[in-house]
Amino acid sequence: MNDIFARQQEQEREQALRALLMRPLLTAADPAFALVRRHAEHLRAWLAREAGWALKVERDCARLYKTAADLEDHTRGAPGFDRRRYVLLCLVCAVLERADPQITLKTLGERVLELAADPELEARGFAFRLTSMHERRELVDVCRYLLALGVLARVAGEEEGYVQQGGGDALYDVARRALAALLACPRGPSTLAPDEVRDPPSRLAALTDEYRANDAEGRRTAIRHRLARRLLDDPVVYHDELSPEERDYFANQRGAMAQRLRAATGLEAELRAEGTALIDPHGELTDRALPAEGTQAHVTLLVAQFLAAHARETRVSAESEIADFVRAAARRYGRYWRKSAREPGAESELARAALAQLAALRLVRETDRGVEARPALLRFAFREARTIAASGSLALDLQSACAA
């Protein structure tokens, strides 16, 4: 009986931890929230010990305060968000902080307009008038992002009518605790001194600066936390991207570290000469799947195969060369793609989107010279399958299935 209870407890803790890694902000509406609350003490201790991350669990909200190991990774962030949408996100949150427990989309837009009229914003080139469909779409994109996070909950109405004609409306509940937990950094931006906010890199460094004991043990702990964060957060950790101190530590500790993370998360460790990756056998703990469904996913897979074929030659491919490949692929596979992807000139946009996806998965690296394949891309180095005659019938030559 005790063994059954222990296994059930381990499974629940694994499910709760996986949910937090995928969705660091959990509200009571999330099915995993109850498990996080039940095992909050264990999860809080494990996350602090292994990754140096703080977990705060309240009555109706749980927040894992994750700090990225690589602040220069430009592939992170809200899907489809540009600089304007991030500014709007900040303005919307400022409005919601002062709003009633419920607010309509129209009222939210009017109050955002008031904040957007700040002369300092206009001096920096930000203008928001809410007079065009494009601007209404930007506001709705931010609202839908907050809906997905659980900061807003739709009570009535819909957003599309508001976008198209400005006549529709929607009513939202505001989750105060989730709103207050959105910002995940040790320091608040308002506490930064003027000399700390001159440029984005220094601002990020100041916001995420953490206290570490300045002794040998403190330095080892900081290295261990950085490596664990990268293993849990990044698709793959390459040795050539680590500092000399991190490589030295990882050379001796990566097996033990990977085992501890595997036991807690259910991720499978793949240890190679070039680096290490934690692979989810269920394909759940990712926001960028490959392979996947859809035209762009198919193009991305084809581009990955094309680049992997040249990886052993250590070739650097130009973006124009990849666009030419996509154009040729359209002639062969275009009948399976959406209509717009078959239009003349679409290959450049499809190629850029494919490269962005592969770069986010750490399968390629874009440099000034072109696109460079990374070692993990070799898993996509497939050759054409061919059929051979066997006992009077056709059989698949399995030896040609994979060249990696």
All structural domains of the chain: 2-65 (no CATH), 83-180 (1.10.10), 216-279 (1.10.10), 295-380 (1.10.10)
For residue 230, the one-letter residue type is R
**pLDDT value of residue 39:** 97
State both tokens at 110: 């009017």
For residue 261, the one-letter residue type is L
Nearest to 67 by CA among 24, 98, 34: 24
Phi, psi of 142 (to 5 degrees): -65, -45
Cβ-proximal residues to 35 (8 Å cutoff; 6+ apart), any chain: 12, 13, 15, 16, 19
**pLDDT value of residue 384:** 62
**pLDDT value of residue 19:** 96
User: What is the end-to-end Cα distance of the chain in Å, rounded?
Assistant: 47
Cβ-proximal residues to 230 (8 Å cutoff; 6+ apart), any chain: 69, 70, 237
**pLDDT value of residue 24:** 95
Taking 50 as the pLDDT cut, the residues of the chain under it are: 391-404
**pLDDT value of residue 381:** 79
Q: Summarize pLDDT for 161-184 with one digit per residue, the tens.
A: 999 877 789 999 999 999 999 988
Please give the Cα distance from 43 to 3 (Å, whole number).
21
**pLDDT value of residue 25:** 95
Q: Summarize pLDDT for 227-271 with one digit per residue, the tens.
A: 999 999 999 999 999 999 999 999 999 999 999 999 999 999 999
DSSP-derived secondary structure letter, 255: H
**pLDDT value of residue 140:** 96
**pLDDT value of residue 169:** 92
Helix (H) or strand (E) holding 347: helix 346-360
Please give the Cα distance from 37 to 192 (Å, whole number).
33
Please confirm whether the linkage preceding 291 is cis (ω < 30° from 0).
yes
Q: Which residues pair with 103 in a beta bridge?
A: 172
Cβ-proximal residues to 290 (8 Å cutoff; 6+ apart), any chain: 297, 300, 301, 304, 357, 358, 361
**Residue 331: Cβ-neighbour burial (10 angstroms; 0-12, 13-18, 19+):** exposed
Please give the Cα distance from 191 to 185 (Å, whole number).
12
Cβ-proximal residues to 156 (8 Å cutoff; 6+ apart), any chain: 170, 171
* pTM to 2 decimal places: 0.86
**pLDDT value of residue 398:** 37
**Residue 5: Cβ-neighbour burial (10 angstroms; 0-12, 13-18, 19+):** exposed
**pLDDT value of residue 313:** 67
Helix (H) or strand (E) holding 173: strand 170-174
